[in-house]
């Protein structure tokens, strides 16, 4: 389907997850958790699979219950900080164009990581940093709780109904949905359950996000009608 310039609509604020949505950090996270697991004599792949669906303290409770969780977290933080300094990161195709195309006060980052690491990764990849970042230290309840996304909306001065969440993971999608927001999924072959719209890649979603954020609703051209007329001739 193609579209014309569009018609006026309702402007949306855009709330982005970071890892897996804007920045490709899968290999970094797998390697990081593998190194962490080695230090505790654990299987790296098994630990990583748990870490994908839980917050760090929950991961430790499940895979290393006999170890001091504070020590486990300190080790993880040490590895993560080193990875920010020396790891190789890449922004997903379209991320720079998208973020530079949004008004600064119309978008925010909502991450389960920490702000200083996010800033480090954005600096490494050349992405602009918004005025609002809701990180793990900003909330007591992380995703899939609605709290992180509601906190971001509050800081932007936006109502949940005016917010568009861009996510790649089930926990983040649930967080956005529970916050009463529109949720679009990206960077996954199969749509995460519950998303209002799904895109295989961030690049594919870029023009649609920019259009919605600017308050322009695309107007589809009646291509099927033109094709039918041509066939009658």
Q: Which residues are catalytic?
A: 17, 19
Distance (Å, whole) CA 99 – CA 96: 5
Q: Are 19 and 25 in contact (CB under 8 A)?
A: yes
Distance (Å, whole) CA 148 – CA 56: 16
According to DSSP, the residues that pair with 219 across neighbouring strands are 4
Reference 24, options 202, 206, 205; nearest CA is 202
Distance (Å, whole) CA 94 – CA 26: 18
On the 0-12 / 13-18 / 19+ scale of CB atoms within 10 A, 153 is: buried
Backbone angles phi, psi at 209, to 5 degrees: -65, -45
C-alpha count within 13 angstroms, C-beta hemisphere, residue 169: 21
């Amino acid at each position: 389907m193609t579209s014309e310039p569009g018609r006026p609509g309702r402007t949306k604020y855009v709330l982005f997850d970071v890892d897996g949505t804007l920045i490709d950090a899968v290999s970094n996270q797998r390697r990081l958790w593998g190194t962490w697991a080695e230090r505790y004599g654990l299987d790296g792949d098994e630990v990583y699979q748990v870490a994908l669906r839980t917050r760090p303290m929950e991961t430790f409770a499940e895979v290393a219950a006999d170890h001091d969780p504070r020590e486990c977290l300190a080790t993880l933080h040490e590895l993560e900080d080193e990875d920010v300094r020396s790891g190789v990161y890449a922004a997903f195709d379209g991320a720079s164009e998208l973020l530079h195309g949004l008004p600064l006060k119309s978008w925010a980052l909502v991450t389960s990581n920490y702000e200083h690491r996010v800033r480090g990764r954005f600096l490494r990849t050349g992405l602009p940093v918004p005025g609002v970042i809701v990180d793990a230290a900003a909330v007591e309840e992380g995703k899939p709780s609605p709290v992180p996304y509601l906190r971001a909306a509050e800081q932007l001065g936006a109502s949940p109904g005016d917010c568009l969440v861009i996510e790649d993971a089930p926990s983040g999608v649930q967080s956005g949905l529970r916050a009463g927001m529109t949720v679009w999924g990206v960077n996954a072959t199969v749509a995460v359950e519950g998303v209002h719209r799904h895109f295989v890649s961030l690049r594919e979603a870029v023009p649609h996000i920019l259009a919605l954020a600017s308050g322009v609703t695309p107007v589809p051209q009646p291509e099927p009608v033109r094709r039918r007329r041509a066939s009658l001739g």
